[in-house]
């Protein structure tokens, strides 16, 4: 469903997460028409769904479930409808998160556990290079760029394997802070970044343009 101006529509999932306004502004600048909403019909009909996330894994999951956002994400992905998760909005796509000894269940779209980074300084805050696959759509023209991270937790392993030759294998991008961790994933309709593209200047805007163009 495109807007009247021919721009793709993006629903920004409204479940109480902070930092939504800068994300909305960046996606609009990238060429989409953005609406902050939790309305089921609006979320399902939009060309893309943006799932932001700041703070703790458990708190994000609790807030998401309170507005049945977990169901909306699952329904969109089951129908092959694009979803973009940012920061904790990426972390919750994994099976679980472990924070300060507490294990919380995630959305289970990908196998794996999000844990605290083994690094001398936390949080990981600032600009870091990424190691993206050569055929990445998300990072087309951006392989030499740096992106802005603010986090202490991440997934350090990727175990999802695709054995069907007709299905494109996930494109996994890595970064490093103390240890190597998953910085972004392109997996069919589900795309996610551990860094904040809306805080990553021209490179982040170009990445969002790549995602919007794919809608």
Token pair 């629903």: residue: 11
Does residue 186 carry a catalytic annotation? no
Instruction: Give the whole-angstrom CA distance, residue 131 versus residue 144.
Output: 9
Choice among 124, 151, 177, 196 that is catalytic = 196
Instruction: Give the whole-angstrom CA distance, residue 53 versus residue 193.
Output: 11
Does residue 124 carry a catalytic annotation? no
At residue 30, φ and ψ (nearest 5 deg) are -80, -5
Choice among 109, 145, 186, 198 that is catalytic = 198
Q: How many other C-beta atoms can be found within 10 angstroms of the C-beta atom of residue 213?
A: 13
Q: Where are the alpha helices (DSSP H) in the chain?
A: 20-29, 40-45, 57-66, 69-78, 88-91, 201-214
For every residue of 52-87, DSSP letters joined together read ---S-HHHHHHHHHHTTHHHHHHHHHHTT--EEEET
CA distances to 90, 102, 173, 189, 212 from 65, in Å: 16, 18, 28, 21, 26
- Give, rounded to a whole angstrom, the gap between the first and last alpha carbons of the chain: 10
Choice among 87, 109, 151, 186 that is catalytic = 87
Catalytic residue list = 87, 196, 198
């Amino acid at each position: 469903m495109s807007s009247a101006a021919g721009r793709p529509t993006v629903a920004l999932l409204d479940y109480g997460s902070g930092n939504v306004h800068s994300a909305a502004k960046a996606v609009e600048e990238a060429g989409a028409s953005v609406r902050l909403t939790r309305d089921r019909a609006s979320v399902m009909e939009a060309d893309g769904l943006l799932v932001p996330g700041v703070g703790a894994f458990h708190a994000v999951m609790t807030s998401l479930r309170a507005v049945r956002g977990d169901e909306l994400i699952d329904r969109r992905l089951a129908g092959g409808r694009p979803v973009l998760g940012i920061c904790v909005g990426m972390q919750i796509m994994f099976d679980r998160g472990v924070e300060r000894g507490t294990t919380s269940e995630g959305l289970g779209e990908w196998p794996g556990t999000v844990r605290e980074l083994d690094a001398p300084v936390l949080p990981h805050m600032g600009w870091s290079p990424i190691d993206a696959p050569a055929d990445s759509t998300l990072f087309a023209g951006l392989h030499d760029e740096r992106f802005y991270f603010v986090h202490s937790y991440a997934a350090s392993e990727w175990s999802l394997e695709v054995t069907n030759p007709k299905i494109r294998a996930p494109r996994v991008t890595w970064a490093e802070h103390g240890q190597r961790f998953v910085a972004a994933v392109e997996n069919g309709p589900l795309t996610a970044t551990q860094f904040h593209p809306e805080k990553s200047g021209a490179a982040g805007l170009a990445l969002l343009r790549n995602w919007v163009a794919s809608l």
